[in-house]
Structure 1
Amino acid sequence: MAREPIYLVTEDGDHLVTEDGVPLITGYLGLDLELLLSAIVEGIGDHSDGQLVRLIAPAWWALEDLLQEDPELLFQLKDRKFEELLAGKYEAAGYRAILTPRSGDYGVDVIAESKEGPRVRIFDQAKRYSRGRLVPANDVRALMGSWAFRDATAGVVTTTSDFAPRIGEDPAIKNALSQGLRLINGPTLLQELAELRKAKG
């Protein structure tokens, strides 16, 4: 069986190269998506809720650029890679990002915590759904239970697709939306990523 390729970040943190030192990202045209996705975040330590991660800047921003050019790529991400994309989003926004274990996560896939200032602890449930498959109210309620039980300050459900019609009219969800719950669909996620890119300059 062929050995999986290894990709390294240069000392300045600005370039992704093969183990032979060949630059990997010099432009995005023709870039293999799976190859790029092999290295968008890296673990930097253990946390009681999972693994602390940080984005690998060249690869993560390259993926963000590709998603802006072709939003359909969002639907090609596998579950864990979608979670890593979200973890990188929080880390890029200045939070401490934690990927929860693949099982036993109580419906929470990514946790974002403030590094300083007022305490912020966000639970994000990632729903990588195909186009047309909508997130139902029951899935949102499941996150709300974890949110209250595990001392989060806010909850987010992020999907590649969209939410069921009138989901915000559900009494429990309507109340949670007024107290910090956010529902982020695919277009909104892409907009937030674009805003992070703009802020980065």
Structure 2
Amino acid sequence: MIERGEKTADGTLIMAVAPAWHAILWVIMQNPECIHQIPPDKWEEIIAGAYEQDGFDVVLTPRSGDGGRDVIAEKRGWGSVRFIDQVKAYKPGHLVTADEVRSLVGVLHADQRASKGLVTTTSDFAPRILSDPSISPFLPTRLELVNGKALVERLSNLAAG
């Protein structure tokens, strides 16, 4: 789905998306429920490809030992940013827990160059997660939660734009 470049200390650079990436986005736009049939490792590639298509320099981290970071996306220049994205490919009803989100807050503290962390899921988040006192202070400027519905919308907008 993606064209990989050289290895870095964090993972593999993403050079471009392959035609399969665009085809999968088209299928998702036609049938959003199919997001639950895509394997987790492919979701990491889809998200990495989305950042690449949006003009970021992207690193896809290894499947294990990634330090809680699945995708690292950077834009340099005026207002440089570095996003850390943790991708959770869950089935409907399997909700991302507050502990999983708190884990990303810890990753943000460890990666001093990170501007923002995102938890992107094909499912949704546990109830009251937005009001959790250890999560809410970070929303939305340091931490962003992207559920399945918002994910499909973002991918559709990217494919259309």
TM range (shorter): over 0.9
Give a deviation string over 1:62-94, Cα, whole Å, max 9, x none: 110100111122111111101000000100110
RMSD: 1.2
Q: Is 1:47 matched with 2:19?
A: no
Partner letter of residue 160 of structure 2? K
Q: Is 1:64 matched with 2:25?
A: yes
Q: Is 1:191 matched with 2:153?
A: yes
Query: What corresponds to 1:79 in structure 2?
Result: 40
Larger Rg belongs to: 1
Structure 1 residue runs without a partner (length 5+): 1-39
Query: What corresponds to 2:63 in structure 1?
Result: 102
Partner letter of residue 96 of structure 2? V
Question: How many angstroms does 1:57 deviate by?
Answer: 4.1
Structure 2 residue runs without a partner (length 5+): none
Query: What corresponds to 1:142 in structure 2?
Result: 103
Contact 1:94/1:115 (<8 A) preserved: no
Contact 1:44/1:53 (<8 A) preserved: yes
Query: What corresponds to 1:172 in structure 2?
Result: 134
User: Do the aligned partners of residues 190 and 55 (structure 1) sit closer, same or farther apart at CA in structure 2, a change above 3 Å counting?
Assistant: farther
Distance (Å, rounded) in 2 between the aligned partners of 1:99 and 1:179: 23
Contact 1:75/1:129 (<8 A) preserved: yes
Distance (Å, rounded) in 2 between the aligned partners of 1:112 and 1:126: 13
When normalised by structure 2's length, the TM-score is 0.94
Give a deviation string over 1:147-180, Cα, whole Å, max 9, x none: 1111210000000000001101101110011432
User: Do the aligned partners of residues 46 and 109 (structure 1) sit closer, same or farther apart at CA in structure 2, a change above 3 Å counting?
Assistant: same
Q: How many residues align?
A: 160
Distance (Å, rounded) in 2 between the aligned partners of 1:69 and 1:115: 34
Question: How many angstroms does 1:58 deviate by?
Answer: 2.0
